[in-house]
Amino acid sequence: RMVEGTWVLGGIRRETNHCFLVPCPGNSREEATLLPIIKQFILPGTTLITGWKSNIDLGQHRYVHIDVNPDIGADINLIKGTWRKCNAFRRGRRETESSLRNDLSEFMWRKQK
């Protein structure tokens, strides 16, 4: 299904609850777009639990990749909840690229406090 708006790649470190939320340049979800963001925020050797289908071979880049599987504790409820809070925080705000970046930065800053 098509979703209107800007694609945002996000992640949360479960131990600290710190997160990152980054708008995808050009609204792209291609490897050339996502991999630099992943490498900027996530150390090699880290386990990534994702709920998205990707053509990126994360193992080739020294990440452990697990698809969502609640039976083994690999769920994405934490990021879904964070995204829900972020959307509530942004409700009624302008939808420009710069305002989105500013809002995401402020949300992450407030969340880390």
26-84: pLDDT as tens digits? 888 889 999 999 999 999 999 988 877 677 889 999 999 888 777 777 777 888 888 89
Q: Which of 2, 11, 3 is nearest to 80 (CA)?
A: 11
Of 68 and 91, the structure prediction assigns the larger pLDDT to 91
Give me the pLDDT at residue 4, please: 65
Q: Examine the pLDDT at 1 and tell me if it is beyond 50.
A: no
In the numeric block, the tokens 């809070």 are attached to 85
Residue range 88-102: mean pLDDT, rounded: 84
Element (H, E) at 109: helix 97-112
